[in-house]
């Protein structure tokens, strides 16, 4: 009884695994999205998926697809897990109709998958990877994310010029992004005259209790704390810090740019500054159109990373249109030449595959983000 | 500074103690490490979130409704997944894996229903900050302190002074003999799971009201640390959980100050291992005799 | 009709158990199929899944030695894996040593940690030991995260070289990684099989059944448990090293509590104290998330459900439970003859 049960199970599995490999249709162009749709980071992955689906839908309705073929999105959930990402990567490169990949969320997960993409020669654009070594994994590996050095300088500029800070505190999450950003912020801050970093505290991702950290900052008395973390670090940290010292100011990073920041921090994130490459209240027609379409379709405002995913898909599709081919190597070559006017600004890739962006300064005022003059 | 660190640590400790009590209750009766407790705690917080934020009924109805639902969830977990295992007399590891499976289910369902993002929760008992010289004490911190103590006293009274508590202790010592004495063992275990769930709901609501953040995975690390606290104090001993929680909370607060935040999560586990090596039954644990 | 089919299957399995020739031809067929898998044009991801299954066979086999055979439940096995992976990756990056040497070193270092964990935790039994292993796994992760000068902290280790075998780089495209892992599986299986069929194996099982009694019977329970821990950690470290050189990037989030849970689930799912069960358990549980992909976000709800249901209806695992092996009479004793003569 039990053995036959087992055999039945295995047979079922084999059948369902093969059923995944449907006959290849060459009359569509596929864009793959690989992102966490389950697990702790599902919110970001869902944003990626929504953004790419929206972009593809717009191409299909406005232009009738690309190269007269319909564009299709294939979505893979990697649970933000390297092991799964590597398997997914094999799946993606095995599907000849897939022209490019938008995705993988965390740098570590991207880097578990990128050797496969590089080996097989398919373009991967991560909207979020920030690991310094990520884009040098190979010439097929791109990121449409801010470059840490540039963004760190903007953050310090805000602290020094907009908030007149002399003593800076840094709070960073202990992830590849947080740690490398914090060390660059420290380095750059030393170049400014009369500015010093008085305290640096690190936290593990997922911390909600900031009391020991706040106590340490409160002793060092910085004028401004630069928070290298997502919205779910910045908001509770600001809440707990402001309860003790209401005069403190915060500067965040573009990764924290999300409506959730205000939903979670309420009055305590008033006056928080961020450098951002995307601003959903912008008067730019292009951006306005995206934000309206996104809100109409999904009922929530797009965040910075979501906008970057949206552009990533757009970049791949434009590259295909420019070269009039879905040849994977040709797409790669085109990406180094392309200059894409997206919702996160004019995007070009340098020889590493890092996107060059310009920043705007945002501030939370009366429960909404507003753009401030530099 | 030092006093502030101590106070931060004590509050954090009370947070762990609140969760640890649930582990301790179930372990005391069943000798089972209930790995689903962390996600049950997250469940309690989300129920409170729905009542307090989405339905705007206020914090006390939220607490009460959350206690009822989460307690029922506790009973359900026992009835559906654990009771059959007891009847089959399967190995303890089977029950342990079951509770892990249950926590997968709860946590992922929470994520699907509520989304994985962090959600705002109203602050409870907010009367501002009390300043004593250099130290700032949050009124919510004091409130958490008091409620935890009350909960503990309440649970201790149930276990020590009531008839059902007597039955619980009897089941703990010898389920078979208790059964022969006419105690409905399954009923008692269900009741214990209800208490465990209810205490998770209280912890979930209070802690969310303190940090003002609710998210589906909130129970994982907090649960593991609370569990360390329970072991440290002597798992199965209620006041031990509180002492254990306080020790873990204090050490964490000091670890952040002296070693940096990166080591924060390691502290609880280092303490856990040390305690297990030096005194496996915990500070207040009773020594078990191996019967041949 | 359906019952007939199952009966036939059952009969065949019984036949396989009894007749050596049938058994070997079945195993031989499986072996041949496994040998040609990367070469028959299967989609690459299926080869990758087969590779991952192989890695988890090693891991579950290693855990099975202490959990299935010795009765010591560990939920911190990812810790050994991480130690093996980091040791091997760091040595090969810093000294350019070949994978086959670094992997061995990784496994040895993991084994030393097995000794370190084994020694103090011998005072513990049952649930308390389980808890200690949980703490161990987490502490290892935290140390890797924070010891930045050695492990590069949260940035992880990048560009780990692929295994090179006599000048040939083993990749997933040339199937090298697949063959490598299954060769490691064979080595692990043979070693573990030899151990459990030896005097030591029987002693370990005695400890599992009743530690006190085995002690009274003169079994050196303390030493044996430590040996079991060391061997187990050794193979977990080996699997970890392999993983590091296969994926080429490791960071503190590579080996988490989830990994440990996956390993113990395989052991329980397949059947504690069986070897075939480890193969079956790995095949099922590693491919489940892929097979369940159509469920989208409900994937891990169903995964949890499977775990719960499995233990609810078959707590001993799929292949666990009664042993089919006949008891071998000492030489010269013919049971049938004795029975006949009464």
Q: Cα separation of B227 and B215, whole Å?
A: 20
Structure tokens at B91: 């190995």
Strands A70-77 and A123-126 turn out to be: unpaired
pLDDT tens profile C218-242 = 888 889 999 999 999 999 999 999 9
Under 8 Å between Cβ of B36 and B78 = no
CB contacts < 8 A (A, B):
91
Q: Which residue of B has its CA nearest to C216?
A: B292
Residues in chain C where the model's pLDDT stays below 70: 1-6, 9-10, 13, 16-17, 321-333, 335, 342
Question: Closest by alpha carbon to A308, among A364, A354, A361, A363?
Answer: A354
Nearest to B33 among C131, C153, C311 (CB): C131
Q: Which residues of C touch A106 (CB under 8 A)?
A: 253
Tell me whether residues C121 and B276 touch, CB distance under 8 A: yes
List the alpha helices (DSSP H) in A158-270: 176-189, 211-220, 231-244, 259-265
Residue B290: φ, ψ to 5°? -80, 120
The answer as to whether B288 is a domain residue is no
In degrees, to the nearest 5, what angle opens at C-alpha A135 toward C-alphas A129 and A140? Answer: 110
Terminal CA-CA length for chain C: 43
Taking contacts as CB-CB distances below 8 angstroms, the residues of chain C near B227 are 131
Count of domains in chain C?
A: 1
Whether B136 has a pLDDT exceeding 80, the answer reads no
What part of C 8-27 touches A (C-beta under 8 Å)? 9-10, 13
Give B27→chain C minimum CA distance, Å.
10
Which residues lie below 8 Å from residue A239, measured CB to CB, with a gap of 6+?
A: A265, A266, A268, A269, B212
Instruction: For residue A299, give every residue at least 6 positions away whose Cβ sits within 8 Å of its Cβ, in sequence order, or none.
Output: none
Do B260 and A263 lie within an 8 Å CB cutoff? no
* pLDDT of amino acid C89: 96
| Contacts A232 to B, Cβ<8 Å | 117-118, 213, 215
Q: How far apart are CA C72 and CA C227, in angstroms?
A: 13
A79, A115, A175: residue with CB nearest C248: A115
Neighbours of C95 (CB within 10 A): 10
- Cβ-based contacts of B102 with chain C (< 8 Å): 304, 308
Q: Which two tokens stand for residue C10?
A: 């059952």
**Whether C261 contacts chain B with CB within 8 A:** yes
- Asked if C46 reaches chain A (Cβ–Cβ under 8 Å), the answer is yes
Residue C88 lies in a domain: yes
Does residue B76 sit at the C interface (CB-CB below 8 Å)?
Answer: no
pLDDT at C232: 96
Is B136:B129 a contact under the CB 8 Å cutoff?
yes
Give the side-chain half-sphere CA count within 13 A for A228: 33
CB atoms < 10 A from the CB of A244, how many? 17
Crossing angle of helices C299-313 and C276-291, in 10° steps, is 150
In which element (H, E) is residue A197 found?
strand A196-203
Pairing of strands B213-214, B119-120: antiparallel
Phi, psi of A200 (to 5 degrees): -130, 120
> Can you give the CATH number for the domain in which C274 is found?
1.10.3470
CA–CA distance, C258 with C78 (Å, rounded to integer): 8
Query: Residue B135 sits in a domain of what CATH number?
Result: 1.10.3470
A neighbours by CB contacts (3+ pairs under 8 Å): B, C
d(CA A77, CA C297) in angstroms, rounded, equals 8
Q: Domain of B58? A: 2-278
C326 within a domain of the structure (yes/no) = no
Could you tell me which chains touch chain C, where touching means 3 or more CB pairs under 8 A? A, B
Contacts of A87 in chain C (CB under 8 A): 45, 48-49, 52, 290
Residue C36 belongs to some domain of the structure: no
Any CB–CB contact under 8 A between B58 and chain C?
Answer: no
Q: Which chains does B contact via 3+ CB–CB distances below 8 A?
A: A, C
For each of the domains in chain A, give its residue range(s) and CATH number, in order of start: 24-146+286-356 (3.40.50.2300), 148-276 (3.40.50.2300)
CA distance C296 to C231: 39
φ, ψ (nearest 5 deg) of residue A99: -90, -30
Interface contact flag, C10 A1, Cβ < 8 Å: yes
Is C162 contained in some domain? yes
Q: How many angstroms away from the CA of C69 is the closest CA of chain A?
A: 22
| Residue B287 is assigned to a structural domain of this protein | no
Residue B241: φ, ψ to 5°: -60, -40
The answer to whether position C76 is within a domain reads yes
Beta carbons of A291 and A302 less than 8 angstroms apart: yes
Task: Label each residue of chain C as H, E or C.
Answer: CHHHHHHHHHHHHHHHHHCHHHHHHHHHHHHHHHHHHHHCCCCHHHHHHHHHHHHHHHHHHHHHHHHHHCCCCCCCHHHHHHHHHHHHHHHHHHHCCCHHHHHHHHHHHHHHHHHHHHHHHCCCCHHHHHHHHHHHHHHHHHHHHHCHHHHCHHHCECCCCCCEECCEECCCCCCHHHHHHHHHHHHHHHHHHHHHHCHHHHHHHHHHHCHHHHHHCCCCHHHHHHHHHHHHHHHHHHHHHHHHHHHCCECCCCCCHHHHHHHHHHHHHHCCCCCHHHHHHHHHHHHHHHHHHHHHHHHHHHHHHHHHHHHHHCCCCCCCCCCCCCCCCCCCCCHHHHHHHC
Backbone angles phi, psi at B216, to 5 degrees: -60, -30
Q: How many domains are there within chain B?
A: 1
With both helix axes pointing from N to C terminus, report the angle between A2-19 and C2-18 in degrees, rounded to the nearest 10: 110
Q: Is residue B284 part of a domain?
A: no
Mutate to test the interface with A, among B14, B42, B118, B214 (most CBs of A within 10 A): B118
Tokens of B36: 């689903």
The continuous run of DSSP H or E covering A75 comes out as: strand A70-77
Of C338 and B20, the structure prediction assigns the larger pLDDT to B20
Give the pLDDT confidence of C81-133 residue by residue, as tens digits.
Answer: 999 999 999 999 999 899 999 999 999 999 999 998 888 777 777 778 888 88
Q: Which residue of C has its CA nearest to B102?
A: C304
Is any Cβ of chain C less than 8 angstroms from the Cβ of B276? yes
Nearest to C45 among A16, A94, A132 (CB): A94
Tell whether B174 is covered by a domain.
yes
Does B259 fall in a domain? yes
Strand A28-35 and strand A70-77: pairing? parallel
Is C325 domain-assigned? no
Q: What angle do CA A360, A363, A365 make, to 5 degrees?
A: 145
pLDDT in tens, chain A (374 residues): 455 555 665 555 555 555 444 444 568 899 999 999 988 888 899 999 999 999 999 999 988 888 888 999 999 999 888 888 988 998 898 888 899 999 899 888 999 999 889 988 999 999 998 888 888 888 999 998 888 888 899 999 999 998 988 999 999 999 888 998 999 999 999 888 889 999 999 998 888 889 889 988 988 899 999 999 999 999 999 999 988 888 899 999 988 998 899 999 988 999 999 998 888 888 888 899 999 999 999 988 898 899 999 999 999 999 999 998 889 999 999 999 999 988 988 888 888 888 878 888 999 999 999 988 87
Q: Which candidate from C173, C249, C293 shows the least CB-CB separation from A112?
A: C249
Q: What is the DSSP string of B103-159?
A: HHHHHHHHHHHH-SS-EE---SS---EEEETTEEEEHHHHHHHHHHHHHHHHHHHHH
B87: pLDDT strictly greater than 50: yes
- Whether residue C342 lies inside any domain: the answer is no
Of the candidate ranges B97-111, B271-285, C266-280, the one whose mean pLDDT is the lowest: B271-285
pLDDT for the residue C260: 93
CA A109, CA A176: separation in Å to the nearest integer? 11
């Amino acid at each position: 009884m039990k053995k036959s049960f087992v055999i039945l199970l295995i047979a079922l599995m084999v059948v369902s695994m093969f059923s995944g490999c449907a006959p290849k249709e060459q009359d569509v162009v596929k864009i793959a999205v690989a992102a966490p749709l389950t697990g702790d980071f599902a919110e970001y992955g869902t944003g990626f998926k929504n953004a790419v689906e929206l972009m593809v839908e717009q191409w299909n309705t406005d232009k009738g697809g690309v190269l007269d073929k319909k564009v299709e999105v294939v979505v893979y959930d990697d649970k933000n897990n390297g092991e799964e990402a590597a398997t997914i990567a094999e799946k993606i490169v095995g599907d000849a109709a897939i022209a490019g990949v938008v995705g993988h969320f965390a740098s570590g997960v991207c880097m578990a998958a990128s050797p496969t993409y590089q080996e097989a020669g398919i373009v991967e654009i991560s909207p979020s990877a920030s690991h310094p070594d990520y884009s040098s994994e190979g010439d097929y590996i791109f990121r449409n994310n801010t470059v840490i050095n540039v963004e760190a300088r903007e953050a310090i500029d805000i602290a020094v010029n907009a908030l007149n800070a002399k003593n800076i505190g840094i709070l960073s999450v202990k992830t590849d992004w947080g740690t490398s950003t914090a060390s660059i912020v420290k380095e750059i801050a030393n170049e400014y005259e009369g500015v010093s970093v008085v305290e640096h505290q690190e936290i593990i991702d997922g911390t909600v209790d900031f009391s020991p950290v706040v106590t340490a900052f409160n002793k060092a008395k910085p004028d401004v704390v630069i928070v290298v973390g997502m919205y779910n670090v910045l908001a509770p940290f600001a809440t707990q810090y402001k309860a003790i010292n209401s005069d403190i100011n915060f500067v965040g990073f573009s990764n924290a740019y999300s409506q959730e920041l205000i939903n979670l921090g309420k009055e305590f994130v008033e006056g928080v500054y961020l450098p951002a490459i995307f601003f959903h209240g912008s008067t730019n027609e292009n951006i306005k159109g995206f934000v309206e379409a996104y809100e109409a379709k999904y009922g929530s405002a797009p965040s910075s990373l979501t906008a970057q995913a949206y552009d990533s898909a757009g970049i791949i599709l434009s590259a295909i249109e420019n070269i009039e081919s879905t040849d994977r190597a040709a797409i790669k070559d085109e990406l180094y030449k392309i200059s894409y006017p997206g919702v996160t600004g004019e995007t070009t890739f340098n020889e590493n595959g890092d996107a060059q962006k310009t920043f705007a300064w945002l501030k939370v005022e009366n429960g909404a983000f507003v753009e401030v003059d530099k | 500074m030092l006093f502030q660190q101590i106070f931060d640590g004590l509050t954090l400790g009370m947070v762990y103690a609140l969760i640890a009590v649930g582990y301790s209750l179930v372990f005391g009766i069943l000798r089972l490490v209930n790995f689903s407790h962390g996600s049950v705690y997250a469940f309690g917080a989300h129920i409170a979130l729905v009542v307090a934020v989405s339905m705007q009924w206020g914090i006390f109805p939220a607490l009460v409704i959350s206690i009822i639902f989460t307690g029922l969830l506790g009973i359900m977990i026992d009835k559906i997944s654990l009771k059959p295992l007891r009847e089959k007399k399967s190995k303890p590891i089977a029950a342990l894996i079951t509770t892990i499976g249950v926590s997968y289910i709860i946590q992922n369902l929470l994520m699907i229903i509520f989304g994985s993002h962090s959600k705002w929760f109203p602050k409870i008992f907010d009367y501002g900050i009390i300043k004593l010289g250099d130290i700032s004490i949050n009124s919510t911190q004091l409130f958490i302190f008091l409620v935890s103590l009350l909960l503990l006293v309440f649970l201790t009274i149930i276990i020590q002074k009531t008839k059902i508590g007597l039955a619980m202790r009897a089941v703990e010592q010898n389920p078979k003999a208790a059964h022969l004495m006419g105690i409905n063992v399954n009923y008692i275990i269900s009741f214990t799971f209800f208490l465990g769930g209810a205490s998770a709901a209280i912890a979930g609501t209070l802690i969310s009201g303190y940090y003002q953040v609710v998210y589906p995975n909130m129970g994982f690390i907090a649960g593991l640390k609370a569990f360390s606290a329970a072991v440290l104090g002597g798992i199965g001993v209620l006041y031990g959980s509180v002492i254990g929680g306080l020790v873990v909370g204090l050490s964490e607060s000091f670890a952040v100050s002296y070693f940096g935040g990166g080591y924060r999560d390691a502290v609880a586990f280092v303490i856990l291992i040390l305690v297990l090596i030096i005194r496996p039954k915990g500070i207040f644990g009773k020594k078990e005799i191996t019967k041949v | 009709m359906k019952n007939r089919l199952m009966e036939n299957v059952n009969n065949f399995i019984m036949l396989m158990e009894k007749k050596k020739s049938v058994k070997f031809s079945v195993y031989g067929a499986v072996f041949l199929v496994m040998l040609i898998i990367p070469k028959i044009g299967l989609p690459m991801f299926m080869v990758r899944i087969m590779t991952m299954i192989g890695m988890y066979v090693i891991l579950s086999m290693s855990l099975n030695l202490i959990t299935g055979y010795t009765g010591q439940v560990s939920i911190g096995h990812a810790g050994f894996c991480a130690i093996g992976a980091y040791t091997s990756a760091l040595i090969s990056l810093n000294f350019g040593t070949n994978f086959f040497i670094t992997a061995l070193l990784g496994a040895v270092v993991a084994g030393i940690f097995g000794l370190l964990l084994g020694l103090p935790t011998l005072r513990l039994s049952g649930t308390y030991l389980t808890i200690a292993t949980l703490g161990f796994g987490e502490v290892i992760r935290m140390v890797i995260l924070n010891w930045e000068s050695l492990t590069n902290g949260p940035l992880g280790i990048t560009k780990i070289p692929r295994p090179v075998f006599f000048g040939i780089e083993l990749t997933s495209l040339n199937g090298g990684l697949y063959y490598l892992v299954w060769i490691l599986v064979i080595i692990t299986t043979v070693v573990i099989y030899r151990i459990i069929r030896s005097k030591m194996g029987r002693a370990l099982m005695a400890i599992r059944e009743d530690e006190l009694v085995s002690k009274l019977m003169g079994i050196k329970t303390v030493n044996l448990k430590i040996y079991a821990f060391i061997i187990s950690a050794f193979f977990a470290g080996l699997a970890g090293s392999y993983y590091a050189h296969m994926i080429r990037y490791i960071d503190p989030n590579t080996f988490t509590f989830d990994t440990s849970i996956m390993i113990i689930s395989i052991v329980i799912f397949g059947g504690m104290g069986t070897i075939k069960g480890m193969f079956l358990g790995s095949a099922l549980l590693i491919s489940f998330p892929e097979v369940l992909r159509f469920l989208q976000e409900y994937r891990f709800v169903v995964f949890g459900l499977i775990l719960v249901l499995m233990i609810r209806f078959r707590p001993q695992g799929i292949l666990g439970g009664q042993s089919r092996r006949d008891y071998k009479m000492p030489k010269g004793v013919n049971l049938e003859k004795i029975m006949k003569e009464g």
